[in-house]
Chains A and B, each alone.
Chain A
Amino acid sequence: GESVGLHLPTLSVQEGDNSIINCAYSNSASDYFIWYKQESGKGPQFIIDIRSNMDKRQGQRVTVLLNKTVKHLSLQIAATQPGDSAVYFCAENAGFQKLVFGTGTRLLVSP
C-alpha cells in the first residue's frame, strides 16, 4: 500500500548549520511530493514541492532532492535558524491532492 516514512524522528543542529531531513516513500507511481513545516499548535505550512520529472528544486534556503531510483526525498535547510525549529513532514500526492504524510521529523535548532 501507499506509505511515506521518515528515517529520523528528531534532528538537533546548531544555529547556522545546514540541516538535512530524509524521507522514504513506497509508491513508485507518485508524481508529486511536498514538504511541510508544522509548528506547535498550528496547521502544516507548505515549504517546497517537487514533481517526479525533476530531481532537485531550490527555494529560499531550502532544497528538495528526489531520488526516484531508491524512492527517497530529502529536505536541505541552509544556515538553520531557531525559527526553523518545528516538525517537518514529507507528503506524496496520492491523487487529487489527497496527501499521504509521513510521521514527521522534529528539528531542534540550538542558538
Chain B
Amino acid sequence: DTGVSQDPRHKITKRGQNVTFRCDPISEHNRLYWYRQTLGQGPEFLTYFQNEAQLEKSRLLSDRFSAERPKGSFSTLEIQRTEQGDSAMYLCASSLLALGGTTGELFFGEGSRLTVL
C-alpha cells in the first residue's frame, strides 16, 4: 500500500453514462497526477495538479473528461457520456514538491478499472 487511495477499484457502466473516480493522495503531497493505462500498455499522462491548480492537461483529455482538486487534497476525475474506448485503468499518483524545488518520488495508487459496455 503506497498510501494513495482510489475509489472505486472497479466500475462497469453502459455507454453514455457518466462516471466519477476519486483519488486521495498521501496527505502531505502537493502534486497529484492522473494517468490512464490500457491493457498491455504503459500509463499515459492525463493531467496534474499542484495544490488545487490544474497546471497541465494532455490532448488525451477530451472535453468529456474533467478533473478537479477543490481543496488541494483529494481529486476527482469525471468522464461524461462514456464510450467503449474509455475502458482502461485510471491511475492516480502523488508526490511532494519541496520548498527548495526538489521533487520526491511519485507514488501510484492501485487504480480504478473502468469497463464501458
Q: A residues within 8 Å of B by Cβ?
A: 4, 34, 36, 41-46, 49, 89, 91, 94, 96-104
Stretch from B11-19, B42-50, B79-87 at the A interface:
B42-50
Chain B residues within 8 Å of chain A by Cβ, number: 25
Report A-chain residues with C-beta under 8 Å of the C-beta of B21: none
Do B40 and A43 touch across chains, with their CB atoms under 8 A apart? no
B20 close to A (CB within 8 Å): no
Contact with A along B86-103 (1 / 0, CB 8 A): 000001010100000001
B33 close to A (CB within 8 Å): yes
Report B-chain residues with C-beta under 8 Å of the C-beta of A34: 106
Report A-chain residues with C-beta under 8 Å of the C-beta of B4: 43
Do B45 and A100 touch across chains, with their CB atoms under 8 A apart? yes
Do A43 and B45 touch across chains, with their CB atoms under 8 A apart? no
Do A96 and B105 touch across chains, with their CB atoms under 8 A apart? no
B74 close to A (CB within 8 Å): no
**Whole-angstrom distance between the Cβ of A30 and the nearest chain B Cβ:** 14
Do A104 and B107 touch across chains, with their CB atoms under 8 A apart? no
Complex Cα–Cα for A43 and B42 (A): 11
Q: B residues within 8 Å of A by Cβ?
A: 2, 4, 31, 33, 35, 40-45, 48, 55-56, 91, 93, 95, 103, 105-111
Report B-chain residues with C-beta under 8 Å of the C-beta of A91: 42
Please judge, given known A-B contacts A42-B110, A43-B2, A43-B109, whether A101 and B33 are in contact too, CB under 8 Å.
no
Do A43 and B111 touch across chains, with their CB atoms under 8 A apart? yes
B106 contact from A97, A100, A102, Cβ within 8 A? A97
Please judge, given known A-B contacts A43-B110, A44-B91, whether A96 and B42 are in contact too, CB under 8 Å.
no
**Whole-angstrom distance between the Cβ of B105 and the nearest chain A Cβ:** 5
Report B-chain residues with C-beta under 8 Å of the C-beta of A101: 42-44
Do A43 and B91 touch across chains, with their CB atoms under 8 A apart? yes
